[in-house]
Amino acid sequence: MMNKNSIYFASNVVKGRIAETLIEEMFKKSGYQVYRFGYERLLENVSQLKQEIIDSNTFERIRSIPDFLVVDLKGNIQLIEVKYRSSGEILPEELEKYAYFWEEARIILVTPKEPHFRISYINSFCKNGKLYSLEDDKFTEIHPDIIREFSKVVKRYFGKESGDREKIKQ
């Protein structure tokens, strides 16, 4: 039987996976090639090891591999780490290992609070604590209509009240 902590953890894992899927599909719909690139995807067997792995710089780098590698139509590559937070807030300290190992990576925060998709270079965010609306991002080309479409999905699955799902029109 699951205790409250196990249920809370499982719930957060599901929310995080939903957020990742939303970002993946949004980029695909915008013409990007999207490759799952995260620790859980690339090294599934390592992430499920029962034995203790000795903490090392190498292991921390592997654990902090960003979730996606995305390629635009011009061949430009971005590494994307996706986080979900119901509060709409994330602390720079939570991303320090990404900044250390993957300084070129970007963070996309998915949240039920508008704007639902916020982005920054992780290095910049760790220095200034600022995230920007995905719609205003100069380095990522996702049409505002696509962002609005996916914002409806965020509202549907992450709405504050359970009844929100039925209220939102598709």
Quickly list DSSP for 106-164. EEEEE-SSSSSEEEEEHHHHHHH---EEGGG-SS----HHHHHHHHHHHHHHH-SSTTH
- 2: in domain: no
The encoded tokens of residue 53 equal 């792995």
Mean of pLDDT values over 92-103: 93
For residue 19, give its domain range: 12-165
Task: Give 28-53 pLDDT, tens digit per residue.
Answer: 999 999 999 887 776 666 656 656 66
Pick the closest to residue 85 from 94, 72, 97 (CA basis). Answer: 94
Do 146 and 116 touch, CB atoms closer than 8 A?
Answer: no
- 5: in domain: no
- 34: in domain: yes
According to DSSP, the β-strands at 106-110 and 68-71 are unpaired
- 39: in domain: yes
pLDDT at 1: 64
- 7: in domain: no
CA 124 to chain centre: 17
Which CATH number characterizes residue 155's domain?
Answer: 3.40.1350.10
Task: Give 136-156 pLDDT, tens digit per residue.
Answer: 999 999 999 999 999 999 999
Task: Give phi and psi for 140, each to the nearest 5.
Answer: -125, 125
State the total domains in the chain: 1
- 139: in domain: yes
